[in-house]
């Protein structure tokens, strides 16, 4: 149990201590005694400091701030240094606006492409989400502003989000849904963690002592404040008991409940004091943070936002090297998003940008001598005449040498607060694609969307596709930079693009019914699922092209205490400078556990000039090689041969090698009920059993060592206490001795 000294609040009355545990207003805490009030506000990809009225749905206006690319795009950079820089910039803007805690990042796993909030999350992969989240938090907090890692935990759908229970088995919960949080907490020490609205296996996250105290504090050593999502607390007393420190927005009514519970003996006063002390310590951290002074130049941050956006655009397809475009000839630009870009998602994270780059204008600025024409093509709000808009766009495209076609989802089609029913692009846009490719073969599609969209038909119909996800306020410039080769694309998908929604792992279990969501696909989330079932996908996890090419050679592995060190040589074999995202996946073909065919365990980015090569070294950390062993409720590394592949995507593995790794972590004790298979996989136990079997079979016709393979296989699932020599009362002493020797 964590009993921080509560010297800073011990002079306060119970009422005052309780008041520290809830907000004074929508976005700030109370000031009591020496503890000053501070502001918490959204987050994550900009600072949303509201003016005049308050709400947590992004409705009321807020001060202008740089709108960086939301997590879905930023993750596509796979660039921890970039994430750290964005974190630093956010910290500077937060401080300038007197914000002590910025509510982000969101490190929930993209379990299903329909989740309305996927644009705010990094990836379907926990290792990638955790590494990126940790870098973001490190950057932010280096400026003296606290992060709030959210939404803890297993909040992977918006439907019924304030009641639904995410019903997840323990191994999946640990390896997939908690792992990203664990990494951020252990590596970046966030000042706060935000508990989610939903229930986890039936218990509200805000009231889950196992989650908020046993796992978060006792196991991961979290030393900050657990803050509720806005309005997530149903029962303040139960929440405080579970380890929740700060209810937001909260208020004096729930403070009174806490006081009453202490007075009537149902809540210990020390629990209230410990929570109050944590809030007081956070306030002191914020005060210390104010001393780090910075001056923000909005133009500098806009440039960073453009750099970040350019590093986040994935080149999905580029047949006959249609891209980059020459700044000459006749360029047609089609699609509403070229003039009215969609660059962020809806809800609590909606930022009021300092300015917005318009793609059409940015294209014109880089188009040199080219003539640039424009047609709207469609509307996202349903107004306008579809047919007339389409006909006009077709004429514009026909009268061009190349057509840049902006497609995507409008604000009304995805947002925080609800999930999508379909992941198709709107029908009028699909009809527009068909009409344009009938008159123009040189088409570059540029996509704006928060959640994954089905691309199978488009990928067949057009030669080039750029996937911008949602790129923030400078996305327009970034797209132009990529189109004209000012920047060589290097981003990679952080989420699989399936051929059909029906192929998705949670297709039949999303969003659940009667407020229960069964995580039936278990560990097999995202590419883990598509790979295990050998399901074709339109674009795999980790996919992304470049205007150059890279060669992989000399993969070498060595097993060390901290993990497997992998080195691989990367050579830029093309004729322009480029950046490669090198991905390392591990597999364990002979594993005794349920395992996906491959899992991301490391990655690095490398910048190379034409012809240049470099050796990339990455440690696949033991922590990431561990699996959750439910029989001992603990992490273990399974001993054996691991196959490690280095590649350019999860389905473009260029080099593979095998390394033997020793086991680590507590061993699973053998019991009277252990099977022969389990016994024989323990070398010490196997030797004793073989000796005993040989002894008992002396003189019999078939020696144990001569048993047929089929019999040996059958014996594998035989509990040892039901096996001749060890069975019944007679066998018990020998069995006990065996267990004592092997279990120590």
Binding-site ranges for ligand BGC (CB under 6 A): 42-43, 56, 103, 150, 229-230, 348
Among 503, 502, 506, 533, which Cα is nearest to 519's?
A: 506
* Phi-psi label, residue 653: left if phi above 0, alpha if psi -120 to 50, beta otherwise: beta
| 41 vs 472: CA distance, rounded Å | 19
- Please provide the DSSP assignment of 226-284 as one string: EEE-TT--S-HHHHHHHT--BBSS--HHHHHHHHHHHHTTSS-HHHHHHHHHHHHHHHH
Nearest residue by C-beta to ligand BGC?
56
Closest to ligand BGC by CB, 348 vs 583, is 348
Cβ 55 to ligand BGC, closest distance in Å?
Answer: 8
Min separation Cβ 58 and ligand BGC, Å: 8
For 299-310, letters b (16+ CB in 10 Å) and e give eebbebbbbbbb
Q: Give the DSSP letter string of 23-83.
A: BSSSSBBPPBTTBPP-BEEE-SSS---B-SS--SSS-S-B-EE--PPPHHHHGGG--HHHH
Give the nearest distance from C-beta 63 to ligand BGC in angstroms: 15
Closest to ligand BGC by CB, 380 vs 415, is 415
Measured from the CB atom, the residue of 43 and 91 that comes closer to ligand BGC is 43
**How near is the Cβ of 472 to ligand BGC at its closest, in Å?**
18
- 97 secondary structure, DSSP code: T
Bridge partners (DSSP) of residue 637 are: 664
Using only C-alpha atoms, what is the Rg of the chain? 28
When the beta carbons of 194 and 267 are compared against ligand BGC, the nearer one is: 194
Look at the block and give the residue holding tokens 């009304």.
Answer: 412
- Coil, helix or strand for 737? helix
Residue located via tokens 């996906």 = 596
Q: Which is nearer to ligand BGC, 151 or 174 (CB)?
A: 151
In this structure, the number of other CB atoms found within 10 A of the CB of residue 637 comes to 18
Of the candidates 164, 225, 217, 156, the residue with the CA atom closest to the CA atom of residue 190? 225
- Write the DSSP string, 27-41: SBBPPBTTBPP-BEE
Minimum distance, C-beta of residue 26 to ligand BGC, in the bound complex (Å): 9
Residue 230 or 635 having the CB closest to ligand BGC: 230
**Residue 712 neighbours by CB distance under 10 Å:** 14
Q: 332-366 burial, b for 16+ CB within 10 Å, e for fewer?
A: bbbbbbbebbbbbbbbbbbbbbbebbbbbebbbeb
C-alpha 480/C-alpha 103 separation (Å) is: 31
Residue 724 has which token pair? Answer: 């001749």
398 by DSSP, 3-state: which? helix
Cβ proximity to ligand BGC: between 191 and 627 the closer is 191
The b/e string for 558-573 (b: 16+ C-beta within 10 A; e otherwise) is eeeeebbbbebbbbbe
Minimal distance in Å, beta carbon 237 to ligand BGC?
22
Cβ contact 312:581 at 8 Å: no
Residues 501 and 423: beta-carbon distance below 8 Å = yes
Q: CB of 659: closest distance to ligand BGC in angstroms?
A: 41
For residue 185, give the 3-state DSSP assignment.
Answer: helix
Distance of closest approach, residue 61 Cβ to ligand BGC, in angstroms: 14
Q: Cβ of residue 229: shortest distance to ligand BGC, in angstroms?
A: 5
Q: What is the smallest separation between the CB atom of 103 and ligand BGC, expressed in angstroms?
A: 4
CA distances from 268 to 6, 252, 338 (A): 14, 19, 59
Mode of pairing for the β-strands spanning 64-65 and 443-448: unpaired
Q: Give min distance, CB of 48 to ligand BGC, in A.
A: 8
Which two tokens mark 716? 């594998």
Pick the closer one to ligand BGC by CB: 26 or 340. 26
Are the C-beta atoms of residues 228 and 192 closer than 8 Å to each other? no
Rounded CA separation 644/599 (Å): 10
> Under a CB-based contact definition with an 8 Å cutoff, are residues 5 and 273 in contact?
no
Residue 66 CB, shortest distance to ligand BGC, in Å, is 18
For 721, the token pair is 């206490």
Tokens representing residue 86 in the block: 């964005």
Judged by beta carbon, residue 40 or residue 491, the one nearer ligand BGC is 40
Choose among 130, 185, 124, 192: nearest CA to 156. Answer: 124
C-beta of 43 vs 475, nearer to ligand BGC = 43
Vertex 294: Cα angle to 290 and 298 (nearest 5): 125
Closest by Cα among 479, 489, 413 to 451: 413
Closest distance of CB 51 from ligand BGC, Å? 15
**Closest CB to ligand BGC among residues 50, 283:** 50
Q: Which residues, at least 6 apart from 370, have a Cβ–Cβ distance to it below 8 Å?
A: 326, 327, 328, 329, 330, 331
42 vs 167 by CB, closer to ligand BGC: 42
Closer residue to ligand BGC (CB): 234 or 569: 234
Q: Which residues are catalytic?
A: 229
């Amino acid at each position: 149990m964590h009993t921080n000294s509560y010297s800073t609040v011990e002079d306060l009355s119970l009422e005052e201590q309780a008041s520290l545990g809830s907000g004074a207003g929508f976005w700030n805490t109370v000031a009591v005694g020496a503890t000053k009030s501070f502001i918490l506000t959204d987050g994550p990809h900009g600072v949303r400091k509201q003016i005049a009225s308050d709400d947590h749905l992004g409705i009321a206006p807020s001060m202008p701030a740089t709108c960086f690319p939301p997590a879905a795009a930023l993750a596509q950079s796979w660039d921890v240094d970039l994430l750290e820089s964005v974190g630093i910039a956010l910290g500077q803007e937060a401080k300038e606006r007197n914000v002590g805690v910025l509510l982000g990042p969101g490190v929930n796993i993209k379990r299903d492409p329909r989740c309305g909030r996927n644009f705010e999350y990094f990836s379907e992969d926990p290792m990638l989400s955790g590494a990126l989240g940790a870098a973001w938090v490190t950057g932010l907090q280096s400026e003296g502003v606290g992060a709030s890692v959210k939404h803890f935990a297993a909040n992977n759908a918006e439907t019924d989000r304030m009641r639904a229970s995410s019903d997840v088995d323990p191994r999946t919960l640990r390896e997939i849904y908690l792992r990203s949080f664990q990494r951020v907490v252990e590596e970046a020490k966030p000042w706060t963690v935000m508990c989610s609205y939903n229930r986890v296996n039936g218990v509200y996250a805000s009231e889950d002592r196992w989650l908020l105290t046993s796992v978060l504090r006792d196991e991961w050593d979290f030393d900050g404040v657990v803050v509720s999502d806005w309005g997530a607390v149903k029962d303040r007393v139960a929440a405080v008991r579970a380890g929740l420190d700060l209810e937001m927005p909260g208020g004096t009514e729930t403070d009174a409940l806490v006081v009453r519970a202490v007075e009537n003996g149902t809540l210990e006063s020390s629990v209230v004091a410990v929570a109050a002390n944590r809030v007081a310590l956070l306030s002191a951290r914020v005060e210390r943070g104010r001393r780090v002074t910075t001056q923000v130049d909005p133009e500098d941050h806009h440039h960073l936002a453009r750099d970040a956006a350019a590093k986040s655009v994935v080149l999905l397809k580029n047949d006959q090297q249609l891209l980059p475009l020459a700044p000459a000839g006749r360029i047609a630009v089609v699609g509403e998003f070229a003039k009215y870009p969609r660059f962020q998602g809806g809800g609590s994270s909606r930022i009021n940008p300092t300015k917005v780059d318009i793609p059409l204008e940015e294209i014109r600025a880089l188009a040199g001598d080219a003539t640039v024409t424009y047609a709207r093509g469609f509307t996202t709000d349903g107004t306008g005449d579809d047919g007339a808009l389409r006909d006009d766009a077709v004429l514009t495209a026909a009268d061009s040498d190349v057509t840049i076609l902006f497609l995507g989802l409008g604000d009304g089609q995805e947002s925080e607060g609800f999930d999508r029913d379909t992941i198709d692009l709107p029908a009028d846009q699909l009809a527009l694609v068909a009409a344009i490719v009938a008159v123009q073969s040189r088409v570059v599609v540029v996509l704006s969307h928060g959640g994954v969209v089905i691309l199978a038909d488009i990928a067949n119909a057009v030669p080039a596709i750029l996937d911008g996800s949602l790129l923030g306020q400078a996305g327009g410039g970034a797209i132009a930079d990529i189109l004209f080769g000012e920047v060589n694309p290097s981003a990679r998908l952080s989420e699989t693009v399936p051929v059909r929604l029906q192929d998705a792992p949670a297709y039949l279990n999303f969003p659940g019914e009667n407020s229960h969501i069964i995580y039936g696909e278990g560990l097999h989330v995202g590419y883990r699922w598509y790979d295990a079932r050998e399901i074709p996908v339109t674009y795999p996890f980790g996919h992304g092209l470049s205007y150059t090419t890279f060669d992989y050679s000399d993969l070498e592995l060595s097993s060390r205490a901290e993990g497997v060190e992998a080195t691989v040589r990367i050579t830029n074999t093309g004729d322009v400078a480029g950046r490669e995202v090198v991905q390392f996946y591990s597999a364990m073909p002979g594993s005794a556990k349920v395992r996906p065919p491959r899992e991301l365990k490391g990655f690095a980015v490398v910048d190379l000039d034409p012809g240049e090569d470099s050796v990339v070294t990455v440690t696949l950390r033991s922590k990431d090689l561990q699996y959750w062993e439910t029989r001992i409720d603990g992490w273990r590394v399974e001993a054996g041969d691991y196959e490690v592949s280095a590649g350019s995507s999860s389905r473009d593995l260029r080099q593979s090698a095998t390394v033997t790794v020793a086991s680590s972590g507590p061993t699973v004790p053998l019991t009277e009920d252990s099977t022969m298979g389990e016994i024989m996989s323990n070398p010490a136990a196997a030797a004793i059993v073989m000796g005993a079997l040989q002894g008992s079979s002396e003189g019999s016709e078939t020696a144990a060592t001569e048993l047929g393979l089929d019999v040996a296989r059958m014996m594998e699932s035989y509990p040892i206490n039901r096996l001749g020599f060890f069975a019944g009362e007679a066998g018990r002493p020998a069995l006990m001795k065996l267990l004592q020797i092997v279990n120590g």
